[in-house]
Structure 1
Amino acid sequence: MPHDPPIPASPPCFAHELSGGQPVDPQTARDVARFRKAERARLIAARLARPAAERAALADEVAEELDRLLAGYPGAVVGLYWPFRGELDLRGWMARAHARGHPVALPVVAGKAQPLVFREWTPGCAMARGVWNIPIPAEGRALRPGVVIAPLVGVDPQGYRLGYGGGFYDRTLAALAPRPLAIGVGAPEAQMPTIFPQPHDIAMDVVVLGRGKVSRRPPG
């Protein structure tokens, strides 16, 4: 069985960065990084073990909720993703959103420790292989999304997202102004009590996990 390609990451948990002018405690950063690595492996294994038919049914449920959420954002540019390692496959919904007048863009890794660039996608456009061999539009203009739909490995009740460890979505959401609506999507087993959020983590505004599980970020 082929191994997944290595995932480029930032220094563990951004321990080199400052929070409120103070450095993040290095030991805390290391402990959180170890915890997240173990949880990431556990949750991805659970995701991959789910039968494909069940994943497809969950994707349909999530797509229905996305239709409701986007009703309040007519014509908004939607940043989505191409499914990877058992993520919910929303490519059918992506094509329907485009047909309804939403410009669609897929994330492109511009470089290590850099925000993502969202490149316009259209049905049938030429695709190339990006980081981790994930397909990306081969060419096209960069778009600024008004809605970003991010895949979840894990998520806690406050909407903090566990991803693959590179920090790309956190950097991207921090860099976009005005900030887009951030929607995290995944399967019900992505729920976890906490990811032990660090100063750089940015919570999702809405989390959609299928089976009627929809939550919004607590105020404050």
Structure 2
Amino acid sequence: MIRLVHALLTASAMSFVALSAQAQSQPVAWSPGYAGACGECDLSGKNLTGWSLAGGNYSSANMEYAFMRGVQAGNANFENANATSADMRGAILTSAQFAGAILSDARLQGIQASGADFRSANVRGANLQTALLVGANFASADLSGANLTGSWLNETILSGAVFNGSNMTGSQLRNAAVHGASFKDVRFIDADLSGLKGAETADFEGACVSLSSTLPATLTLPLCGTAVAPAAFASK
């Protein structure tokens, strides 16, 4: 009898181990358990692709290397969050709060972030190709080395922001406020800078344009590949 009980217990234990091993070998889908409020939580490396985070509070959260492609995060709070190298391609970030956040080397291609707040954010080296940023606030933000090719920055606040070495080919900056901003060595090929406010106080040292670029009457920049701007190209 004792041997029979022992055999049954051994068989049960082996079955449990086998089932556990089988379960662990199966992929586990993420459930949207972080929606709503997750301030200071650790979302680093998490796959949040396609989630709805709209209106949620993720201030000071760790989102390094998180996969957030196509997330719906309008009006969400990401202030002081660390999203270094996060993948947010195609995300909806309209009126979201990123003040003081770290977005260095983040993949932000095609994001829709009109009216978003990026004040004092670190966006160095980020990819913002074709990003929709109309009316966003980048005051005192650092976008050095960022790729802003084809981005829409019309009506934005860029006062005190740093864009040194950024690629702004094809960017739209109509009526943007650039008081005290730094655009050193920026390439404005095919860019539209018409109506810039405060251009006379911004630093454009080493910046250049193409013949198809549009400048305000107060700004003269050389053609890329030339040392001096033709007098007739001072404004368009």
Q: Same fold (TM over 0.5)?
A: no
Scaled to the shorter chain, the TM-score interval is: under 0.3
Larger RCO (alpha carbons 8 Å, 6+ apart): 1
Q: Which has the higher helix share?
A: 1
Larger Rg belongs to: 2
Q: Which has the higher strand share?
A: 1
After TM superposition, the score normalised by the length of structure 2 is 0.23
